[in-house]
């Protein structure tokens, strides 16, 4: 593959297939003393590849006009998108270009969290809990630490 | 995703992107007493996924009209293609739909081995060695056992 070939614009369906395989929609909720809620909601979209495909990650970065290519670990690089405005662009893309793997379920949850964040619900206790419950359903389904913390309002039944 | 949606024909570019992420072109050379050369060249194309995406693997199987979906291990399934006529169809597809990751290098080597096999070169000592050297460049670059065996003609310099 030559550098010239790399400059062709990527096909949206190719990008969708590649993200179905290699993309990750992830949301973490981290303790953060300086935030008004003491917890920070951090949505992230990433694609990790061996560094030999760094150029391709940069192509995808240009395609989405989003994120940056950084070291993941060792000889792995990642395209990492964290800016809300850029994530919204990516969500819009996958609303128009449907993911076909079960990753589409993670995507829908991710998209729902972004919608809540746009409405600033992550800055309310009820909204933060709602977001944490959505996160819990995503990815590896580890219960967010926020839901275990003393700051979480309790319900009689979950 | 409903069962109905799954029945739409997959987009060739989606398939290319997905294979760029998840596909594997692999060739093994195994000892096989009943083969005339005592070694069997076994080219294989596979896509491994969590069993929750088994339906999608079956879609890809229908798309290529190739292979079968079998257990990989544990809760993982794979679409596995081993028939030469079906592999040739897959090679033709990726000649027309270019892979964009460095997997394209593996694909070119795989395609070269298939070409040699079509010409029955795997049934000659020189051809088998040529194939083994191509395999050595692919995937994890483990030196094929065939090249270590006493049956391999030696050269003064490698």
**Tens digit of each residue's pLDDT (9 = 90 or more) over A87-104:** 999 999 999 999 999 999
Q: Are B72 and B48 in contact (CB under 8 A)?
A: yes
Instruction: Please report the pLDDT score of residue B158 as a whole number.
Output: 38
pLDDT over 80 at B1, yes or no: no
A15 touches chain B (CB under 8 A): yes
CA nearest to A13 within chain B: B14
Of A17-31, A117-131, B126-140, give the lowest mean pLDDT range.
B126-140
Instruction: Please report the pLDDT score of residue A91 as a whole number.
Output: 98
Phi, psi of A54 (to 5 degrees): -60, -40
- Give the best-scoring range by mean pLDDT among A4-13, A53-62, A135-144, B145-154: A53-62
Instruction: Please report the pLDDT score of residue B58 as a whole number.
Output: 98
Q: Are A100 and B14 inside 8 Å of each other by CB?
A: yes
Instruction: Please report the pLDDT score of residue B139 as a whole number.
Output: 62
pLDDT-based confidence at residue B145 (cuts at 50, 70, 90): confident
Closest CA to B148 of B138, B11, B135: B135
Q: Which DSSP helix (H) or strand (E) runs through A5?
A: helix A3-6
- Residue among B50, B56, B102 minimizing CB distance to A100: B56
| CA angle in degrees (0–180, nearest 5) for A50-B92-B24 | 30
Instruction: Please report the pLDDT score of residue A1 as a whole number.
Output: 44
B102 touches chain A (CB under 8 A): yes
Instruction: Please report the pLDDT score of residue A35 as a whole number.
Output: 76
pLDDT-based confidence at residue B7 (cuts at 50, 70, 90): low
Closest CA to A19 of A52, A56, A65, A55: A56
Instruction: Please report the pLDDT score of residue B150 as a whole number.
Output: 59
Query: Which residue reads 């449907």 in tokens?
Result: A98
Of A133-137, A152-156, B150-154, give the lowest mean pLDDT range.
A152-156
A93 touches chain B (CB under 8 A): no
Q: Are B20 and A14 inside 8 Å of each other by CB?
A: yes
Q: Write down the pTM of the prediction.
A: 0.87
What beta strand segments (E) does B32-131 contain?
Answer: 39-50, 68-71, 76-81
- Residue among B6, B50, B100 minimizing CB distance to A56: B100
Q: Are B127 and B98 in contact (CB under 8 A)?
A: no
Question: Reduced to 3 states, what is the DSSP secondary structure of residue B105?
Answer: helix
B96 touches chain A (CB under 8 A): no
In terms of pLDDT, which residue wins out, A152 or A103? A103
A79 touches chain B (CB under 8 A): no
Q: Are A53 and B101 inside 8 Å of each other by CB?
A: yes
A52 touches chain B (CB under 8 A): yes
Mean pLDDT score of chain A? 88
CA nearest to A11 within chain B: B13
Q: Which residues of B82-120 are buried (b: 16+ CB within 10 A; e: fewer)?
A: eeeebbbebbebbeebebbbbbeebbbbbbbbbebbeee
Rounded Cα distance, A125 and A53, in Å: 42
Question: How many interchain CB pairs under 8 A, A with B?
Answer: 73
Q: Are B18 and A21 inside 8 Å of each other by CB?
A: yes
pLDDT over 90 at B72, yes or no: yes
| pLDDT tens digits along B84-136 | 999 999 999 999 999 999 999 999 999 999 999 999 988 899 999 999 989 88
| pLDDT tens digits along B28-67 | 998 888 877 788 999 999 999 999 999 999 999 999 999 9
Residues of A within 8 A of B53 (CB-CB) are 101-102
Rounded Cα distance, B114 and B41, in Å: 10
- Residue among B6, B18, B56 minimizing CB distance to A18: B18
Q: Are A22 and B19 inside 8 Å of each other by CB?
A: no
Query: Which residue reads 């080219």 in tokens?
Result: B43
pLDDT-based confidence at residue A2 (cuts at 50, 70, 90): very low
């Amino acid at each position: 593959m030559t550098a010239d070939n790399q400059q062709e614009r990527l096909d949206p369906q190719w990008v969708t297939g590649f993200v179905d395989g290699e993309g990750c929609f992830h949301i973490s909720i981290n303790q953060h003393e300086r935030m008004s809620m003491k917890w920070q909601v951090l949505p992230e979209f990433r694609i990790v590849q061996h560094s030999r495909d760094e150029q391709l990650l940069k192509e995808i970065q240009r395609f989405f006009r989003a994120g940056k290519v950084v070291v993941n670990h060792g000889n792995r690089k990642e395209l990492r998108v964290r800016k809300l405005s850029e994530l919204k662009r990516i969500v819009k893309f996958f609303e128009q270009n449907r993911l076909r793997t079960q990753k589409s379920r993670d995507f829908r949850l991710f998209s729902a969290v972004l919608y809540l964040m746009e409405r600033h619900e992550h800055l309310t206790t009820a909204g933060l809990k709602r977001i944490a419950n959505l996160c819990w359903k995503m990815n590896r389904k580890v219960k967010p630490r926020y839901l275990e913390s003393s700051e979480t309002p309790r319900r009689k039944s979950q």
